[in-house]
Amino acid sequence: MKIRYGGDYNPEQWPPGVADEDHRLFDEARIDTLTVGVFTWALTQPAPDVYDFTTLDRIIERAAVAGRRVCLATGTGAHPAWLARAHPSVTRTDFEGRKHRFGQRHNSCPSSPEFRRFSAEVARRIARRYAGHPAIIAWHVGNEYGGACYCELCAAAFRQWLRDRHGSLEALNHAWYTTFWSHTFTNWDQIEPPNALTEHWRGPDHTAFQGITLDYLRFMSDAMLTNFRDEKAAIRESDPDTPITTNFMGLYRPIDYHRWAPHLDFASWDNYPPDDRSPARMALAHDLMRGLKDGQPFWLMEQTPSVTACRDVNPLKRPGVMRLWSWQAVAHGADAVLFFQMRAGRGASEKYHGAVIGHAGRSDTRVFREITALGTELEHLGPATLGARTPARVALLFDWDSWWALEISDGPSRLVKYLDVVTTHHQALWQLGADVDVIAVTAPLDAYDVVVAPALHMIKGDLADRLSAVAARGGTVVTTFLSGRVDQDDNAFRTDVPGPLAPLFGVRVDEWDAREASFVNPVTLLGSRFESRLLFELVIPQGAEVVGTYEADFYAGTAAVTRNDFGAGHAWYVGACLDPAGVERVIREILTRHGLLGPCAGLHGVETATRVAPDGTSFLFVLNHNTAPVDLPPLDGIDLLTGEPAGTLDPYGVVVLQTRPASRT
Ligand code: GLA
Ligand code: ZN
């Protein structure tokens, strides 16, 4: 057993003989796992009543002979042309109301009875054929579920979903606040999907009725989950045990992964970081994905070894970066490191996407050499980190409902983005070396000393009480501007802001000022000066101590950041959109109080993460994201990759320190 290494393999795209060359190179690169059949529906089922397993048989047998394991896909991420032709219901209707015809992928209407029937059936047939095959270690259902459909079938399914959620039209009218703008519904049939033809203008985030749009987002996520569950159930008819997953996309807004997670046997995700804040942002996504299944290890299902193709500009991963980011995934809980793609396809939209093996089939390329080197390292590491958990004392709450509600809101500011607020707070924790569980608002909080809840816009259920309990027993809770604003239906509370959170934070907010991005109001905080932008809440302490004040405008000298003593602990309210340095200052204060600063806190661009194996062995991963070497402080343990203690870390360098087995008390 070892960390799985390999990725998406599509030999259906090239002549059979090439596979021999592929497998020879896979041996060289220590590839042990292949994800097969992600887009083979049209080959597996070339006509409504014809199933043809020649291609999958050949690929799976060849892999098995070579001793490799297979993650087998159901192939339903793209439907076949004949299906769209015979059953137009399977294609989607877009946000503008345009009925699509056959084309692209990730293109099926989740509510189409024909899509549901045919996709479940192809999954059933594949499972029937390959269940129990010794090479198969996991099932991969669909691919990167996402997008949305606004067709009549989805409208009907939405109405049914609403009946289940709200029970009666009266309750629905109440939840949606329909006395506004003469919207009272007197029959379920009057309800339309919210799109460009109905409630929206200027795109998906501009809606006249937040409650309607919010429910449609929830419904669409649930509808696609139904598709996943259809196929999972079909697989389970012949394979009761092999774990089933689907590849998520990390920080992906349209799908509420927390609602999906219980239905997956393990989480997996595709890491294609979009911007230059990558290291911290990737760490957040890894922590979120690990949090989906209660901290269990996940799979890095896809990453590019070198370049993507889908962006306007596709930068190359510099030498060492693929290795560094792979170890980062492991550091945050991955038990598999997989690539898209194993060999580069020759045609269509991904022909320039990076691959383990390029078009020419060479092994003497830089990329192949780096892949082989990492394969050798992972082989050398063996089973040591498998199943290891992250011993986090800090939780960061992540909530799709708050994300949606905040970003479809008219006012206070379209410039405040949920992920920006979340990433700034996570980045501070990351930079200071705290291990962080990113968890749902419904998750238990008992294990944490510190709970960070950025932009916790919507308060549902008993969350306010559970946060108060953290502070009461001596922990610290942090929240920010735009928290505690709305209930589960996106209606404001009929109390002071921050609603049910007010007693915990000991503040009241009557007014807030939103400004253009160029406007800065400096905040004096704990003796230093930081910038704040975009949104400025005028915080009125109701017992809380002022720790940060605005410097400018008519509210100069008033509270921007406060700390409330609550029970044995503290509750921090950050009322302004502080710059990253300001957020880091707050987080540093809190981590210091709890003794949670990491061993390399303050070493810029140096990341640390801990995992503890089931036998109690503890691993400290130290990752240098800088282009220059870094001298590390003295650290316990021996680097498993070199057998030496840690000293100076190379540019993009990694050490995996095994500290002594943790003593169990
Ligand atoms: C996604 C998909 C793959 C492939 C890659 C390319 O993650 O799942 O099929 O398109 O992107 O980056
Ligand atoms: Zn539809």
CA neighbor of 165 nearest in space, from 500, 488, 491: 488
Which listed ligand is nearest to 268 at the C-alpha?
A: 1
23 with 145, same domain: the answer is yes
455 with 472, same domain: the answer is yes
C-alpha–C-alpha distance, residues 197 and 178, integer Å: 18
Check whether 568 has a pLDDT greater than 70.
yes
The answer, yes or no, to whether any atom of ligand 1 lies below 6 A from the CB of 302, is yes
375 with 516, same domain: the answer is no
Q: Average of pLDDT values for 251-261?
A: 98
**Final residue of a domain: which of 568, 591, 614?**
591
* Within a domain: 505: yes
Count the helix, strand and coil residues of the chain and give each as a percent rounded to the nearest 5.
35, 20, 45
What ligand 1 atom has the least distance to the C-alpha of 272? 12
461 with 444, same domain: the answer is yes
Extract the tokens encoding 249: 């996309």
Check whether 228 has a pLDDT greater than 70.
yes
* Within a domain: 420: yes
314 with 444, same domain: the answer is no
CA neighbor of 288 nearest in space, from 91, 488, 460, 436: 436
How far does the centroid of ligand 2 lie from the alpha carbon of residue 220, in Å?
A: 9
pLDDT band at 275 (very low <50, low <70, confident <90, very high): confident
473 with 361, same domain: the answer is no
DSSP helix/strand/coil, 343:
strand
* Within a domain: 286: yes
Q: What is the largest CA-CA distance in the chain?
A: 75
pLDDT in tens, 293-340: 999 999 999 999 999 999 999 999 999 999 999 999 999 999 999 999
The answer, yes or no, to whether any atom of ligand 1 lies below 6 A from the CB of 272, is yes
pLDDT band at 665 (very low <50, low <70, confident <90, very high): very low
DSSP helix/strand/coil, 602:
coil
CA nearest ligand 1 atom 10, residue: 350
DSSP helix/strand/coil, 370:
helix
pLDDT in tens, 75-101: 999 999 999 999 999 999 999 999 999
How far does the centroid of ligand 1 lie from the alpha carbon of residue 340, in Å?
A: 7
How far does the centroid of ligand 2 lie from the alpha carbon of residue 216, in Å?
A: 12
14 with 67, same domain: the answer is yes
The answer, yes or no, to whether any atom of ligand 1 lies below 6 A from the CB of 335, is no
pLDDT on residue 640: 96
Structural domain count of the chain? 3
CATH code of the domain containing 337? 3.20.20.80
268-270 β-sheet, strand order:
244-245, 136-140, 69-73, 33-36, 4-9, 334-339, 298-302, 268-270, 247-248
**Final residue of a domain: which of 191, 215, 239?**
215
Check whether 202 has a pLDDT greater than 90.
yes
* Within a domain: 387: no
Is residue 516 flagged as an active site residue?
no
CATH code of the domain containing 515? 3.40.50.880
pLDDT band at 274 (very low <50, low <70, confident <90, very high): confident
How far does the centroid of ligand 1 lie from the alpha carbon of residue 517, in Å?
A: 34
pLDDT band at 277 (very low <50, low <70, confident <90, very high): low
- pTM of the full predicted structure? 0.98
Cα 15-21-25 angle, rounded to 5 deg: 140
Q: Are strands 559-566 and 528-530 parallel, antiparallel or unpaired?
A: unpaired
Helix/strand/coil (H, E, C) string of 25-79?
A: HHHHHCCCEEEECCCCHHHHCCECCECCCHHHHHHHHHHHHCCCEEEEECCCCCC
263 with 355, same domain: the answer is yes
194 with 254, same domain: the answer is no
What ligand 1 atom has the least distance to the C-alpha of 310? 12
Check whether 641 has a pLDDT greater than 50.
yes
Which listed ligand is nearest to 93 at the C-alpha?
A: 2
* Within a domain: 608: no
Which listed ligand is nearest to 106 at the C-alpha?
A: 1
Is residue 192 flagged as an active site residue?
no
pLDDT in tens, 390-429: 999 999 999 999 999 999 999 999 999 999 999 999 999 9
pLDDT on residue 664: 47
The answer, yes or no, to whether any atom of ligand 1 lies below 6 A from the CB of 231, is no
C-alpha–C-alpha distance, residues 389 and 367, integer Å: 31
User: Is 273:304 a contact under the CB 8 Å cutoff?
Assistant: no
**What is the residue range of 452's domain?**
394-432+440-591
Cβ neighbours around 68 below 10 Å, total: 20
Residue 522 preceded by cis peptide, ω within 30: no
pLDDT on residue 276: 67
User: Is 156:114 a contact under the CB 8 Å cutoff?
Assistant: no
What ligand 1 atom has the least distance to the C-alpha of 38? 9
Extract the tokens encoding 392: 């986090």
The answer, yes or no, to whether any atom of ligand 1 lies below 6 A from the CB of 143, is yes
* Within a domain: 357: yes
322 with 370, same domain: the answer is yes
How far does the centroid of ligand 1 lie from the alpha carbon of residue 308, in Å?
A: 9
**Final residue of a domain: which of 199, 215, 231?**
215
* Within a domain: 503: yes
Q: Which of 245, 270, 308, 342 to mutate to test the pocket of ligand 1 (most atoms within 8 A of CB)?
A: 270
CA nearest ligand 1 atom 12, residue: 308
Residue 104 preceded by cis peptide, ω within 30: no
Which of the residues 114, 231, 302, 607 is marked catalytic?
302
Which of the residues 12, 144, 370, 607 is marked catalytic?
144
* Within a domain: 604: no
pLDDT in tens, 140-174: 999 999 999 999 999 999 999 999 999 999 999 99
Which residue type, as a one-letter code, is found at position 651?
P
Check whether 519 has a pLDDT greater than 50.
yes
pLDDT in tens, 652-663: 999 999 986 654
141 with 158, same domain: the answer is no
How far does the centroid of ligand 2 lie from the alpha carbon of residue 145, in Å?
A: 14
209 with 261, same domain: the answer is no
C-alpha–C-alpha distance, residues 207 and 368, integer Å: 49
